[in-house]
Amino acid sequence: MQGLTAPPAWEAKAKRTLDAVRAAVAASTERVFTMHWTEDAVRDLLLELVGVKCWYCETLIVRADVTVDHYRPKSEVLDVPGHPGYWWLAYDVSNYRIACKHCNSGGARYNGVREGRAKGSQFPLIGGTRARTSVDDVEYEQPLLLDPAHPGDPDLLGFDTAGYARRSNTPYSQAEAKRGLCRADETIRILALNDSHLVPLRSRLMREVGVLARFGDELDIQQLIDDKVGPKAPWSSAAAMALALQRACDRPAAAPAPAATTPCTTPAVDAARSRVDLQDLLEHLDPDNLKAGITLTGRHEKKVHQAVLNDEGQIKVLGRPWRTPTTAARAATGSSKIDGWEFWRLTIAGVEQTLADFRTKHFPHIALT
C-alpha cells in the first residue's frame, strides 16, 4: 500500500475536505466527511491490486456495491471511550481496504444464526500505544486485527482441509503471548471468516486444486491451477495452501534419519504458546477423555455456555473449532472482554477448576502478566 498514489485532482479535493475536518476538530464542531473514497479515481486504484474481491475474506463482490473500508476507522473507535476516530487518515489511500458487506458491516451467518459484529468501527490493539491525535504516530500501535495489506499479516492465516480458516504454524508474537490472544483467531471471530457460506466453498476449492495438481505439468491443467491461485481469484490463499500441500505430498520421501544416539527427553514447554493455547497441556489430560471430548463450561451474564475440548487442542463452540480459550469464550458469549482461561472450567477427578488453574498447576514457572 505504501507508494500507492491517487490522481492529483482527487488528492487536492481530498485535502480541502480534510482541512475542513481539521478546522471542525479544532473548533469542536461537527465534522463532515465527504465520501471521496467511493469515487472511481481511488476505488479503481485499489481494485487493480487484487481484483473485485474482499481483501479480508477473499470473496468475489458480485452484483453488490464495492465498499472501501478504513482500516483505522475515521469517526470513532468502538469500545475506546473518547477516541475521536482516526479522522486525519480519512483521505489517506494507504488506510483503505476493499471489503464486502459482511466483513465491513455484518450479516454473516453460521447455521442460520447471525454472528460477528464485523469490522465496522472496531480497531482493537494487542499492544503498543494508541494514536489519538493527528500528531501521534500510528507506527507505535500493534493492531489485533490482521491487516491484509501489511507484510507478514496474511501469512498468519492458514486453512485446514475442511475449509476452516485458522492460524498458520507461525510462532506467537510477544504481544500475543503477553495478552493470551491469537491475532488470527480474533480476526476470524470478528469478521466471521468461518461462516456457513464460506467454509464449504473453500473446502471444495481446495479439493479441486488438489485433484488438478495430481495431473502434473500439463499446460491446460496448469492454467486452471493458475486461475485458482492467482491474486484476483476468490479464496486464492486457501487454493495456494491446497496446492502447496499436494506438491509436498508428491515429493519423494526422504531417507530415514539415523537412529538417535542421545537419550530421549521430554519436549520443552513453549512458554509463549502456553499463554495462548492448550497444545502443551494436552499431555496432562486423559487421552481417552480427550478423544471422546472433554466438556468445558462457562458462565456469563447468568447464562451457562458449554464447549468441548478435543484431542487436537481445539475448543468446539456451537460446532466450530477454536484453538485459543479466549477467542472460544468470546465466540460463545459475544463479549470481547472475556479472558477464556478464567471463563472456561473443566472437571478432573471430580474437581472443578478453571483452565487458568489447570495451567498454573502444571506450568507454575510460566509467569503470566
Alpha carbons 65 and 109: distance in angstroms, whole number: 20
Give the per-residue pLDDT at 196. Answer: 87
Mean pLDDT across the chain, nearest whole number?
A: 91
Domain boundaries, given as residue ranges, for the chain: 8-191, 277-362
Give the per-residue pLDDT at 265. Answer: 54
Give the per-residue pLDDT at 178. Answer: 94
Query: Who wins on pLDDT, 64 or 284?
Result: 284
Question: What percentage of the chain has pLDDT greater than the value 70?
Answer: 91
Alpha carbons 284 and 278: distance in angstroms, whole number: 10
pLDDT range class, residue 13, cuts 50, 70, 90? very high
pLDDT range class, residue 261, cuts 50, 70, 90? low
Give the per-residue pLDDT at 218. Answer: 84
Question: What percentage of the chain has pLDDT greater than the value 90?
Answer: 80
pLDDT range class, residue 64, cuts 50, 70, 90? confident
Give the per-residue pLDDT at 369. Answer: 46
Taking residues 71-87, report their average pLDDT: 96
| pLDDT above 80: residue 34 | yes
Give the per-residue pLDDT at 65. Answer: 85
118-122, 356-360, 363-367 — most confident range:
356-360
Taking residues 259-271, report their average pLDDT: 64
Query: Who wins on pLDDT, 267 or 239?
Result: 239
45-59, 120-134, 249-263, range with the lowest pLDDT: 249-263
Give the per-residue pLDDT at 8. Answer: 95
Give the per-residue pLDDT at 117. Answer: 66
pLDDT range class, residue 247, cuts 50, 70, 90? confident
Query: Who wins on pLDDT, 5 or 1?
Result: 5
Give the per-residue pLDDT at 270. Answer: 87
pTM to 2 decimal places: 0.91
pLDDT range class, residue 259, cuts 50, 70, 90? low
200-204, 215-219, 311-315, 326-330, range with the lowest pLDDT: 215-219
Amino acid type, 125:
L
| pLDDT above 70: residue 255 | no
Matching residue, cell 495438481: 213
| pLDDT above 60: residue 22 | yes
Q: Which of 139, 74, 64 is nearest to 103 (CA)?
A: 64
pLDDT tens digits for range 169-198: 999 999 999 999 999 999 999 999 998 889
